[in-house]
Structure 1
Amino acid sequence: MTTTLLDLEGLVFLRREAHDRGYTDQQIARLVRSGEWWRVRRGAYVAGDVWGSLGDADRARLRSRAVLKAAHPSTVLTHVSAALEWGAPVWGYSLDEVHTSRPETASGRREAGIVHHRGLLPPDHVTQVNGVRLTTPLRCALELSALGSVEQALVSVNALMHARLVEPGAFSALARELRHWPGTLGVNLVSRLADPRLESAGESRTAYFIWAHHLPRPVPQYEVHDGAGRVLARLDFAWPEHGVFLEFDGMSKYREHRRPGESVEDYLLREKRREELVSQMTGWTGLRLRWADLDRPHELASRIRRVLAQREG
């Protein structure tokens, strides 16, 4: 699921802009040492209290703005840097470098925290949002699929699709069109596995885990109805033929599904009661996964297989 972004417009200023406002290099250095200003990258600054209030993703977005302010006007953000501006999760990708490209650039290179990517960049692959020029969500999804692992890409691509920023058919078509790009061997697999129904990074990773370990493919966002036909619950994953459901327990659920004033403990208790009600209504067995479970994949796969097999018996 994509996130709502902070407005970072106009926060970054360059050394030459500070000079124009009357600051000397010595004064700039003192302001940085005191923490009143923060050096985002060489020759680019932001107020120190602003920098201190931001998380890693927004700090990366500020670095992107610092790069663009000093770059050629045709420069656009790409890959991870573009994904951040679209509010997509970038699980597993490094935020240390700013990714850019230019329509007229024929070769790629790295320099001082910037990755300049080569490749064709037609006008309809470029847009502007949040005050910066960047690749479209569709192009960005393909770039991420070429840059990272299939699992990493699925977290971002599923979020873009769930937010209806990328249409699955259009992504498949672009993947076929650009199949000769360097590093795109995994793009077709991302296209096959992508699922706009998945609502979080945890769900995307779980779905990939299930595929990678050759487990039966479950139904995402499975609705359970009561006797009157009303929706009783919507389950992250379900194997109706086995009578098993699975819920991913991630922090995004705590943020998005807690009621106003509800504590985490109260939310977890409510979730437990909901699962008990689902089991009572359906007779199904429930499983709950946490992030740490995905770090023990063989143990987790054995656990799921065992529960599915017991239900078959």
Structure 2
Amino acid sequence: MHPALRAATSPHGVLMRSAALERGCDDDDIRAALRSGELWRIRAGTYAWTRHWDSLDQRGRHLMGVRGVVLKAETDVVVSHISAVVLHRGPLWELPIDLVHVTRPDRRGGRRAAGVVQHRGVLAESDVVVVDGLEVTSTTRTALDVLALHDLEHALPVLDDFLRRGLTSTAALEECRRRMDSWPGTLSADLAIRLSDGRRESVGESRTAYCLYLGGVPRPTPQWRVLDARGVEIARLDFAWPDAGVWVEFDGKEKYLKHRRPGESVVDAVLREKRREERIARLTGWRCIRIVWADLFHPEALAAYVVSVLRGGPVHAGRKSA
């Protein structure tokens, strides 16, 4: 392998054909490194060292592709849309990351080629920030750009996450929406901002809120604080209807896997959660509805069930998803 190939690699691990040629390598050197398995082709003219590539998750690989696109661009580009969500470390539930998205400040975008989508749009100074050395749309602009490409159910987790982390605000979203009001694909922005809530802590909670909205269920209070007799917080509930004496817990994998205590098995975590539910019920006199991921694919049935419980109907502890 030509030693200059390593020297031509960027600090972030991306090797561009143009950089290799400048270092005295040629296409035969690149082809030889590809044949040996040392080099991985990301796209035409853009490469990564295979060992590094194999160590990356989907986000990391997408980011390598983004860096390659920016290095190869013949004009100024700003990383945007789904690629900006990756850079801002936002949730990617069912958001496709096979394409790199950029916006051209010169407004001459609007085409897709070789795995790259160039968008055309007006970028205000406040719409552009620098993340990891790359110019990228701000979290506020990114959230609304995602809405222009995808439906509300898929965009809402992004809005909730950015709000929860303090990366944007309702006021900032509103101001940006007004500037984008006449743009294609932004009709749902007003509704999205009204439905968004930074108190939700996961994609599952965002999707649950969306399903409840679709079903006409009265809007619950997220992260309701439960206090003991001394006024000490002993729990926070995913969603609560205090007047109805009902709360919802979303049972995602993270609750029993990611958030296990040291030395705790999954069974131990489930039993601990059961004891927590019993304690909350004793303190409040409320009833608990447990929702799992499969329920979210049947929003009408889920909403009807929640409404029935809010009206005094039974809670089915062992019910099956529709």
TM-score, normalised to structure 2, is: 0.89
User: Which residue in 2 is equivalent to 1:124?
Assistant: 126
2:47 aligned counterpart, secondary structure: strand
Name whichever of 133-142 and 256-265 sits farther off.
Answer: 256-265
User: Which residue in 1 is equivalent to 2:17?
Assistant: 15
Point out 4+ residue stretches in structure 1 off by more than 6 angstroms. none
User: Which residue in 2 is equivalent to 1:306?
Assistant: 308
Task: Specify whether residues 9 and 88 from structure 1 end up closer, same or farther in structure 2 by C-alpha distance, changes over 3 A only.
Answer: farther
User: Which residue in 2 is equivalent to 1:208?
Assistant: 210
Structure 1 CA distance for aligned equivalents of residues 57 and 183 of structure 2: 33
Structure 2 CA distance for aligned equivalents of residues 169 and 127 of structure 1: 18
Task: Specify whether residues 56 and 308 from structure 1 end up closer, same or farther in structure 2 by C-alpha distance, changes over 3 A only.
Answer: same
Structure 2 CA distance for aligned equivalents of residues 276 and 197 of structure 1: 24
Q: How does 1:212-227 map onto structure 2 within 5 Å?
A: 212-227=214-229
Structure 2 CA distance for aligned equivalents of residues 9 and 237 of structure 1: 45
Q: Could you tell me which amino acid in structure 1 is paired with residue 312 of structure 2?
A: Q
State the structure with more CA Rg: 2
User: Which residue in 2 is equivalent to 1:253?
Assistant: 255
1:305 deviation in Å? 2.2
Task: Specify whether residues 286 and 98 from structure 1 end up closer, same or farther in structure 2 by C-alpha distance, changes over 3 A only.
Answer: same
Segments of 5+ residues of structure 1 without an aligned counterpart are 1-7
User: Which residue in 1 is equivalent to 2:159?
Assistant: 157
In the alignment, is the contact (CA less than 8 A) between 1:242 and 1:311 conserved in 2?
no
Structure 2 CA distance for aligned equivalents of residues 196 and 72 of structure 1: 39
Name whichever of 210-219 and 87-96 sits farther off.
Answer: 87-96
Q: How does 1:235-254 map onto structure 2 within 5 Å?
A: 235-254=237-256
User: Which residue in 2 is equivalent to 1:265?
Assistant: 267
Q: Could you tell me which amino acid in structure 1 is paired with residue 270 of structure 2?
A: L
**Match 1:197 to one of 179, 185, 199:** 199
In the alignment, is the contact (CA less than 8 A) between 1:91 and 1:156 conserved in 2?
no
1:306 deviation in Å? 2.4
Does 2:102 correspond to 1:94?
Answer: no
In the alignment, is the contact (CA less than 8 A) between 1:89 and 1:155 conserved in 2?
yes
In the alignment, is the contact (CA less than 8 A) between 1:91 and 1:152 conserved in 2?
yes
In the alignment, is the contact (CA less than 8 A) between 1:14 and 1:43 conserved in 2?
yes
Does 2:280 correspond to 1:278?
Answer: yes
In the alignment, is the contact (CA less than 8 A) between 1:200 and 1:252 conserved in 2?
no
2:96 aligned counterpart, secondary structure: coil
Name whichever of 92-101 and 299-308 sits farther off.
Answer: 299-308
Name whichever of 185-194 and 244-253 sits farther off.
Answer: 244-253
User: Which residue in 2 is equivalent to 1:58?
Assistant: 60
The Cα offsets for residues 86-130 of structure 1, whole Å up to 9 and x where unpaired, read as 111122321111110121124411111111111111222111111
**Match 2:230 to one of 224, 228, 231:** 228
Structure 1 CA distance for aligned equivalents of residues 235 and 188 of structure 2: 35
In the alignment, is the contact (CA less than 8 A) between 1:9 and 1:130 conserved in 2?
no
Structure 2 CA distance for aligned equivalents of residues 34 and 252 of structure 1: 40
Structure 2 CA distance for aligned equivalents of residues 148 and 273 of structure 1: 40
User: Which residue in 2 is equivalent to 1:77?
Assistant: 79
**Match 2:139 to one of 137, 140, 158:** 137
1:257 aligned counterpart, secondary structure: coil
1:189 aligned counterpart, secondary structure: helix
Segments of 5+ residues of structure 2 without an aligned counterpart are 1-9, 315-322
Name whichever of 159-168 and 260-269 sits farther off.
Answer: 260-269
Does 2:286 correspond to 1:296?
Answer: no
Q: Of the two structures, which has the highest relative contact order with CA contacts closer than 8 Å and spacing of 6 or more?
A: 1
**Match 1:168 to one of 161, 170, 174:** 170
The Cα offsets for residues 124-167 of structure 1, whole Å up to 9 and x where unpaired, read as 21111112111111111111122211111111011011110001
- Root mean square deviation of aligned Cα: 1.9
Structure 1 CA distance for aligned equivalents of residues 300 and 196 of structure 2: 23
In the alignment, is the contact (CA less than 8 A) between 2:247 and 2:286 conserved in 1?
yes
Task: Specify whether residues 246 and 153 from structure 1 end up closer, same or farther in structure 2 by C-alpha distance, changes over 3 A only.
Answer: same
1:100 aligned counterpart, secondary structure: strand
Count of residues in Structure 1 that have an aligned counterpart in Structure 2? 305
In the alignment, is the contact (CA less than 8 A) between 1:175 and 1:191 conserved in 2?
no
1:181 deviation in Å? 0.9
Does 2:187 correspond to 1:185?
Answer: yes
1:21 deviation in Å? 4.5
Task: Specify whether residues 266 and 75 from structure 1 end up closer, same or farther in structure 2 by C-alpha distance, changes over 3 A only.
Answer: same
2:312 aligned counterpart, secondary structure: helix
Name whichever of 153-162 and 9-18 sits farther off.
Answer: 9-18
Structure 2 CA distance for aligned equivalents of residues 113 and 309 of structure 1: 51
Name whichever of 18-27 and 117-126 sits farther off.
Answer: 18-27
Task: Specify whether residues 263 and 21 from structure 1 end up closer, same or farther in structure 2 by C-alpha distance, changes over 3 A only.
Answer: farther
